[in-house]
Amino acid sequence: MLRTTLAGLRLHKGRLVTTALAIALGVMFVAGTLVFTDTLRASYSAQVMGSAERMDAVALPEGESERPLPPGLLEEIRDLPEIDRAEGMVRAEAPLLDPDGRAVGTLPTLAVSVGDPSRYTAAQGELPDADDEAALATSTAETAGYAIGDTAEVLDADGERHTVTITGLVDFGVDPQVGYQGAVVLTPEAASRVTGVEGFAEIDAVAAEGVSAEEAVAAVDAVAGSGTEVITGRTLGERLADRAGVEADSMATALLLFAVVSVVVAAIVIQNTFAILVAQRRREMALLRCVGARRGQVFASVVLEALVVGLAASALGVLAGIALAAVGFRVGGEALDAGTGAAPLVLTPTAVLVSLAVGTLTTLVAAALPARRATFTPPLAALRDSDVATGLDRRTGWLRTGAGAVLLGASALLVSYAVATPSGQQGLVVVALAGILAFIGVVVWSPLLVRLAVAALAPLLRLLGASGALAADNARRNPRRAATAMVALTVGATLISGYSVINASMQATTDDMLDRQFPFDYQLSAQLDGEGTGTVPAEVTAELRDSPAVGSVIADRSAFPEAEGRPAGYRVATYRGADLGRDLESEMVAGDLSDVGPGRAAVDEEVAAGRGIGDTITVETSRGERDFEIAAIVPTSSQLWGVTLVPRDFAAAFPEITEDSTVLVTGAEDAEPREVRAAVDAALADHPTVQVVSMSDMRAQFDGVLAAAFLAIMAMLGLAVVIAVFGIANTLALSVLERTRESALLRALGLRRGQLRVMLALEAVVLCLTGALVGVALGVFFGWAAGVAVLRGLIFQLPTGQIAAFLAIAVAAGLLASVLPARRAARASITAAMAGR
């Protein structure tokens, strides 16, 4: 049996080429993801370990404390005989101004000092050695638009400006705080003066000659006292490497989700291919049974064939995945600002073995059912002609129809529940479960769906002549074979159209929300301080109100009291200069914003905690507890989240708050846009840390984020569609082999080669179009359901252009899939085919 199986593989290797490609593509994504993330993790680790291991002893504030180490500790460490040299690192906020004089970023940049020794080196240029010099983090320089040799301004703790010359760029690698805030690198003296901080966030020390790192740590620990942790540089590097590993693992999880989709689609293609192969080789199986092969041997021969194909294709996929990871790492590593462009590729045995196992086991599992079916071939079947239709049952069956109805009905009930009771993440999980049930139901119903689709398309196909009529008959004749071919494409179509609907609906909802809740031209907000808050000076608001170019100014003042039983971080706010319900709107859960007045508040759902209109809510204020009647309840995601009071009540409750959190500016009706912008710039001339965002900029930011996420997801899911197209090409190629004599008979009866090619092309188009239409229907429905379950007030948007483009791609894919099989069928000899050779 082994020799027979291997001989069959050599004889019919062409039948398994596209199956091997489907396996290889799926494994390629798995292997590429594993190698990419292993390399990224190793690069991060090497980067942080290399910077930390230059230090023998590192002193840090103990635990999560942000209390700086005392300045005197540095001198004590320098005086130790075990220490050759030591330097303290200042690390505190110091806003950097961009070339236009505005503070960079929502959070102030960090001032980080470097001395001798230091964990940081210049990636480009040089580190500063004078108080009027500075280096920038590479990400900060790119964001602000600075280059080496430029001059920039940094604000000190009193808001005074200090001019510095940019001497170099520093790659901080995986430092998360620098990633969020950016960094300005200064000398220790300049950093202390600018930040106003006395003490150090870290003290780095190099041991004297002949002193080990452990001895240096013990010596420093002896003088450090309580509240200070002293560790070796290697230990610090390991901590940073672990943190980097967590970030790399999170990325790997996201990428592997798409790899799983690719593998599932490949499994469907494999199962379909082996089902057709087993059916085509029915006479061969029967002859083996006639000459004494047992059922177990027949089963083993099919499984062995799957094993050989799976191993060979998986090996090819691993090699392709390594190449993919190399390219992705070179491109993606730089995009992630990891400084990884020159790092070597990391290839671990685990990545190779896991990828091989995934491809091989997927192939074996997918081939198991067709292999089992092969064991039931009766020996007497060898006396009859091979008939693939016998191997693939033509009937739909009442059991299949009933099972599909039950699955689809259960899916509909779950979607109804998720939509009726939106609950964020939980609702999304329910919709995902419903989607899985619906997809299984569609798979069960797929032969019936093919029959319905072909019946609908048959009149159109017949208009194309004999080729179209024959294509419809071919698809109708064996709906199960056609259905299994289209299912793989249905998976990709469902996911792509679903993401398209979610993206378009989120964009429409965001635009509507911005138009209704932010009906103004500019939003002014201060950089956040260490407590996550910031204020716009009162003189800015006053100057804007006095400007003739400004029509309205709405100032938001906020407080964050702590009260037992209230949600963490809930806000109490007021909007001066706004008429709630007219100037500021929101989706409503209950009540009306226009009813908010003295003693009456608007609250969000979370703060309401089950209370209704007319109930009383107690707010902890700086003057004790105060009760307010609930006049309106808004969604927690609304701009009016927390508790909203009228200005008089807020002033009485929090008299100490005299500056605004945000200021919303709308230009006068007769003012030109440039006049409004000039008025805003004039009001902020002496306040560079106040951020200015125009509504067009805000909308562009939202649109940009959604578009980038959509394109990234589409690119990844595109692999599933490519695998599905290979599956359809494979099915069509096997179908051509099965119908060799039939095609020859058609040629003998007068069907021209061109008509035969058109027939096969139309048959492939019917399969692709049916699979795409079913997938689009599922994707649109579950995309809508997922959006509604997660986001209350979602505005459904059908991306007709994107869906039409996808359907056009599906038709083109069908035509492409038919090229080689049609060419082979058209070139076949009529006499040889009729003779069965």
How does 801-817 read in b/e, with b if 16+ C-beta sit within 10 Å?
ebbeebbebbbebbeeb
pLDDT score, position 747? 78
Which of 512-516, 657-661, 672-676 is predicted least confidently? 512-516
Which of 10-24, 493-507, 775-789 is predicted least confidently? 10-24
The burial class, CB within 10 Å (0-12 / 13-18 / 19+), for 417 is middle
pLDDT score, position 87? 93
How far is Cα 132 from Cα 752, in angstroms, rounded to an integer?
84
pLDDT score, position 255? 67
What is the SS3 assignment for 283?
A: helix
Is the pLDDT reported for residue 636 higher than 50? yes
Per-residue pLDDT, averaged over 316-324, amounts to 87
Strands 600-604 and 624-634: parallel
Is the pLDDT reported for residue 678 higher than 60? yes
pLDDT score, position 387? 45
Which of 44-53, 307-316, 342-351 is predicted least confidently? 44-53
**Which residue blocks in 336-397 are alpha helix, DSSP H?**
349-374, 388-391
Is the pLDDT reported for residue 756 higher than 70? yes
What is the SS3 assignment for 614?
A: coil
Instruction: Answer for the pair 90, 111: CB distance below 8 angstroms, yes or no.
Output: yes
Which of 150-164, 175-189, 596-610, 656-670 is predicted least confidently? 175-189
pTM equals 0.65
pLDDT score, position 335? 47
Task: With cut-offs at 50, 70 and 90, classify the pLDDT of residue 564.
Answer: very low
pLDDT score, position 679? 92
pLDDT score, position 205? 94
Which of 312-316, 328-332, 484-488 is predicted least confidently? 328-332
Task: With cut-offs at 50, 70 and 90, classify the pLDDT of residue 5.
Answer: low
pLDDT score, position 425? 65
pLDDT score, position 194? 92
Is the pLDDT reported for residue 787 higher than 50? yes
Strands 133-137 and 183-186: antiparallel
Phi, psi (rounded to 5 degrees) for 522: -135, 145
Is the pLDDT reported for residue 300 higher than 90? no
Residue 177's CB is within 10 A of a number of other CB atoms, namely 13
pLDDT score, position 338? 46
Which of 108, 126, 106, 110 is CA-nearest to residue 118?
126
Per-residue pLDDT, averaged over 742-751, amounts to 78
pLDDT score, position 128? 93
Which of 144-148, 667-671, 701-705 is predicted least confidently? 701-705
Kindly report, residue by residue over 529-546, the tens digit of the pLDDT: 655 567 898 899 999 999
Which of 76-90, 543-557, 810-824 is predicted least confidently? 810-824
DSSP 104-135: SSSSPPEEEE--SS-S--EEEE----STTEEE
Kindly report, residue by residue over 420-456, the tens digit of the pLDDT: 876 666 777 888 888 888 888 888 888 888 888 888 8
Quote the strand ranges of 63-200, DSSP E: 83-89, 91-93, 96-97, 110-113, 122-125, 133-137, 151-155, 161-170, 183-186
pLDDT score, position 340? 46
pLDDT score, position 518? 63
Task: With cut-offs at 50, 70 and 90, classify the pLDDT of residue 63.
Answer: confident
Is the pLDDT reported for residue 711 higher than 60? yes
pLDDT score, position 835? 60
Q: Which amino acid is at 96?
A: L
Q: Which residue has better confidence, 189 or 767? A: 189
Kindly report, residue by residue over 65-111, the tens digit of the pLDDT: 678 899 899 999 999 999 999 999 999 989 999 898 888 887 889 99
Give the chain's mean pLDDT. Answer: 80
Helices 800-817 and 479-517 meet at what angle, rounded to 10? Answer: 160
What is the SS3 assignment for 688?
A: coil
pLDDT score, position 572? 92
Is the pLDDT reported for residue 485 higher than 70? no
How far is Cα 104 from Cα 690, in angstroms, rounded to an integer?
10
What is the SS3 assignment for 599?
A: coil
DSSP 432-443: HHHHHHHHHHHH
Q: Which residue has better confidence, 272 or 640? A: 640
Is the pLDDT reported for residue 383 higher than 80? no
pLDDT score, position 390? 43
Task: With cut-offs at 50, 70 and 90, classify the pLDDT of residue 183.
Answer: very high
Instruction: Answer for the pair 391, 277: CB distance below 8 angstroms, yes or no.
Output: no
Beta bridge partners of 574: 557, 645
For 476-510, what is the HEC assignment?
A: HHCHHHHHHHHHHHHHHHHHHHHHHHHHHHHHHHH
End-to-end CA distance of the chain: 24
How far is Cα 799 from Cα 370, in angstroms, rounded to an integer?
40
